[in-house]
Amino acid sequence: MKKVSVGVDIGGTNTAIGVVDELGHVLTKDNISTPDHGNINQYIDELAGAIKTLITNAKLMNENIEIVGIGVGAPNGNYYTGTIEYAPNLSFKGVVQVVRLLRGHFPDLNAIALTNDANAAAIGEMIYGGAKGMKNFVMYTLGTGVGSGIVVNGDLVYGHDGFAGECGHTTLIPGGRICGCGAHGHLEAYCSAPGMKRTAFELLAKYNAVDSPLAKYSYNELTSKMIYDAAMDGDKVANEVFELTGKYLGQGIADTIHHLSPEAIFLFGGPLAAGDLILKPTKEAMEAHLLPIFKNKIKVLPSKLEAGDAAIVGASALAWKELEK
């Protein structure tokens, strides 16, 4: 029998589902809408139906597979309680019992678990990716927000109440940019996709850069993809956006290292497509902030999870991790 697990990634608009083998390969996948009606029971019924259909399809492709569990990644997902709690971008209000409801549909599966997206990505890196065999590492996910997952002694750190790993909300610059959470100067306000846009607008203003291709777009139009394209075309402003983003990120990563002394930091997300354009300034800033005992020994690595399926694959890894217990 070939063992496989199911990964579910609950996003604001879509829920992606995949059947994933022990090597992290997606055998088959599907999408359903994450509803805007907020009725969790109805949604979980739909989700369970879609998972069952997908499993049936996977078995048609290969009748020797055995489902070992379901891992779910979701914003504000709490591993301890199996609930999504007060997720601002989902229609479910308050605390919703995702794992308990799923268990009702899959009573024979022991390994059903949920965590937030960044934690799922970290577990994915550990089970399938570049962190295989590592016992202490931290994953930063750069996207609309900045998430993180912390692994200590081979286990994800959930903290007292399940919410550990919010490195995106450490303070980089006291009194600095307003973060989406309302506080000032958080890393997320500098290193997320919107953070990079904010940096681009600051630099356009600073240099009065009328010749930059970025000068053609309104604040609401400019995307991080446009900044990336301009940087690849050699635009000075766009290149400096990556340089500053790396500088900010490196400062934050140094704080993480001083807390946890990890073997490596993994970076995941769109900006990593720029390679050394983001990695080099990140490493330089990180090293500049480190104590001598940490200098020149902590690796900063791009994630080995494939961008397209990373959320499903990361979530599926949670099921394997559960089986280790």
List residues binding a second copy (CB under 8 A). 76, 85-86, 135-136, 150, 152-153, 155, 157-174, 181-183, 251, 254-256, 258-263, 288-294, 297-298
Longest dimension (CA), the chain: 64
Specify the residue, 70 or 150, whose C-beta has the smaller distance to a second copy: 150
Closest alpha carbon to 127 in 24, 29, 26: 24
Specify the residue, 42 or 80, whose C-beta has the smaller distance to a second copy: 80
> Shortest approach of a second copy to residue 323 CB, angstroms?
19
> Shortest approach of a second copy to residue 147 CB, angstroms?
11
> Shortest approach of a second copy to residue 279 CB, angstroms?
20
Report yes or no: 257 and 285 within 8 Å, Cβ to Cβ.
no
Specify the residue, 216 or 259, whose C-beta has the smaller distance to a second copy: 259
Residue with token string 């599907």? 30
Give 197's Cβ-side CA count (13 Å radius). Answer: 16
CA distance 312 to 305: 10
CA distance 242 to 47: 39
> Shortest approach of a second copy to residue 190 CB, angstroms?
11
> Shortest approach of a second copy to residue 314 CB, angstroms?
20
- Chain length of the chain: 325
Structure tokens at 74: 């979701």
Kindly give, in sequence order, each residue whose CB lies less than 8 Å from that of residue 206, ignoring residues fewer than 6 positions away.
none
> Shortest approach of a second copy to residue 262 CB, angstroms?
6
| Cα Rg of the chain (Å, integer) | 20
Structure tokens at 280: 């080099």
Specify the residue, 290 or 312, whose C-beta has the smaller distance to a second copy: 290
Specify the residue, 159 or 275, whose C-beta has the smaller distance to a second copy: 159
Specify the residue, 146 or 313, whose C-beta has the smaller distance to a second copy: 146
